[in-house]
Amino acid sequence: MPAADDHHAHHGHRHRHTTGAEAPAATNRGGAMTPTSHAGHGEEGHDHAAMVADFRRRFWICLPATIVVVLLSHHIQSLFGVPGIIAFPGDRAVETIVASGIFFYGGWPFLTGLRGELARGKPGMMTLVSLAIVSAYVYSLAVVAGLPGEVFFWETATLILVMLLGHWLEARSVMGASGALQALVRLMPATATRLAADGRQEEVPVADLHAGDRVLVRPGGKVPVDGHVIDGESAVDESMLTGESRPVGKRSGDRVVGGAVNGEGALTVEIDRTGGETYLAQVIALVERAQASRSRTQDLANRAAGLLTWIAIIVGGGTLGVWLLLGAPLAFALERMVTVMVISCPHALGLAVPLVVAVSTELTARNGLLIRDRAAFERARNLQAVVFDKTGTLTEGAFGVATVISLVPERTEDEVLRLAAGLESASEHPIAKGILRGAAERGIEAPRADGFRNLPGEGARATVDGREIAVVSPGTLRRAGREPEDHRLAEQNAAGRTLVFVLESDRPIGAIALADVVRAESREAVRQLKAQGLRVMMLTGDTRAVAEQVGRELGLDEVRAEVLPHQKAETVADIQKNGLSVAMVGDGVNDAPALAQSDLGIAIGAGTDVAAEAADVVLVRNDPRDVVAIIALARATYAKMAQNLAWGAGYNVVAIPLAAGVGMPWGVLLGPALGAALMSLSTIIVALNARLLGRQGERRLAELRRSLAAAQG
């Protein structure tokens, strides 16, 4: 079909996809999706389910009628060597009446499609099919009226029947491929158990919930809308939202998202987001935006389909003229023209890309990989470099213990960390949290601290295990002229790590080096990207010493440090000037200009907020390994598109000459019905191949995530 949005306009029902900006309006106040959220496939209100039902109904009604026409056909009777086996007065009139019913009822979707295509000035598949059946039907009527020739009623009837079957099967495939939004909508429960101020429970529609309401989520129930846990503890299955296969533990203070399935424990959740602000509503908006966004590959397919339409019309007319000039009977020449028209319908070519787009959109949405711009997603297959932000992307964005140094023989590293953790257990300082996290990771239990005192600008003091313990900054010891001299301390300073000293009775017994901890997932993500031939880089505003240490730890190809937020986009542009196609991966507002500048902007770790306007792709999980996944899926998606385009175009290169009668010297001659069957088969092959992307992609994604996790472990 010539136009990008015409691939399903073929029976007069134009499909309208809302934009992402429009999508939240389809969500009611409580976050539940209304029935119209994606049922608006067409200005007349017909969706794919209605199309399936319509073609199915027309097929089954036309099937017995077609059998009657075939049995009454004199040509078919002669073909089987039983001429006149079914003959009675008025049999030709009955054949004509039944065939006319098939033409007008079964052919109506194609005739209305013809009207729509001509009105838009873009002839396509419906134009070809309609010209074929109209030519055959009108010619047959003329023969019945006395014109010398053969009646084409049985060919017309079987052609229409096969086309109805093909469109029925295709519409079923399209409906299955376009089910992403419906699948997401089905995640939302219809009702919720709201808790009144006096503790009473009441079952209310999700639409009636407001921010600040408290709801009870029973074991096995669905979280109605976004909120945070205020009571209870459970494991929550978020796999349909994020692709995370394992349930995620939730306790007081943790966020939950609507549509997630609760495990074995009851949770009391306070609602903080409803309507279009909910995670699921944002995801649905992004899916609709992705489905409506233009694909460069689709534009190519549309141009090719438009060209093929005119080729079919010209070749069909030329075939009629050439055979007549060669002295062939009008019936034979007309039959060749009809077959050319039918078999060369560019339907498979028009569906080659849209079906793959629908399947990949559904696949990515189910796995927490949200596409905002399809053209950018397609470009991912050609990426040459991936640039990561550091803090919060490759690192956790929080202090962690990198190294513990004992400065006295009588104190081990674990003892130094234990005493420091005991002191810091009473503090909320980021360094204190980092020390406590480091102790917990090493299985060290923090002892109780008594008499905790904060030392402004210096550190803190307390009594731990009966000893006077202090954790202070290097400056405190430096001002007192008591800073220890140790090459290990110099190495930590050179690495850009934050040092604190642990004192016992004012004597330095050890030092703790803290750093922004590198994610365990980052190492495997970088390794996999480099294995694919990609150059992996880091862009950060942090100090050079810190950045280079992270770069060495991860094995990055290049590190650019001390880059101000407004300089990040310029730095990405510089990399692009070197001839590299660049993906930028970031998580903060300060990354927005760089995300926009890159060939593919990837926002990572969106969590429950997916409104990353500068990004082309949003990765819900805060996991850099999903960058590997999105690139792998982009390549798989493009491969499917290329396969479908090759089949759609290659099929016509072979089929059109055969339909025109070029194969007659070798005994190869396609009839209109067989041509219709082959055309429909071609369309079905394209649809099934697109559906394979869903199964293969799901399996490939699961395997990839398992291998990444295994390699990390």
By annotation, the residues acting in catalysis are: 389
Q: Is residue 312 classed exposed, middle or buried when 0-12, 13-18 and 19+ CB atoms within 10 A define those classes?
A: buried
List the beta bridge partners of residue 261: 222, 237
Starting at the edge strand found earlier in the chain, the sheet holding 214-217 runs 201-205, 191-195, 214-217, 267-271, 227-232, 255-256
List the beta bridge partners of residue 371: 617
Token pair for 220: 């096995």
Q: How far apart are CA 24 and CA 286, in angstroms?
A: 10
DSSP assigned state of 33: B
From residue 439, how far is each of 15, 392, 418, 512, 646 by CA, in Å? 59, 22, 7, 11, 59
DSSP assigned state of 408: S
With contact defined as beta carbons under 8 Å apart, do 226 and 206 qualify? Answer: no
With contact defined as beta carbons under 8 Å apart, do 431 and 500 qualify? Answer: yes
Q: How far apart are CA 688 and CA 694, in angstroms?
A: 10
Q: How far apart are CA 371 and CA 616, in angstroms?
A: 6
Helix (H) or strand (E) holding 452: strand 449-455
Q: How far apart are CA 708 and CA 706, in angstroms?
A: 5
Q: What angle do CA 255, 247, 226 make, to 5 degrees?
A: 25
Nearest to 30 by CA among 172, 224, 174, 222: 224
Chain centroid offset of residue 569 CA: 26
Q: How far apart are CA 645 and CA 295, in angstroms?
A: 14
Q: How far apart are CA 345 and CA 334, in angstroms?
A: 17
Chain centroid offset of residue 323 CA: 50
For 208-235, the DSSP string reads G--TT-EEEE-TTPBP-SSEEEEEE-EE
Phi, psi of 558 (to 5 degrees): -155, 145
From residue 237, how far is each of 149, 215, 249 by CA, in Å? 69, 18, 9
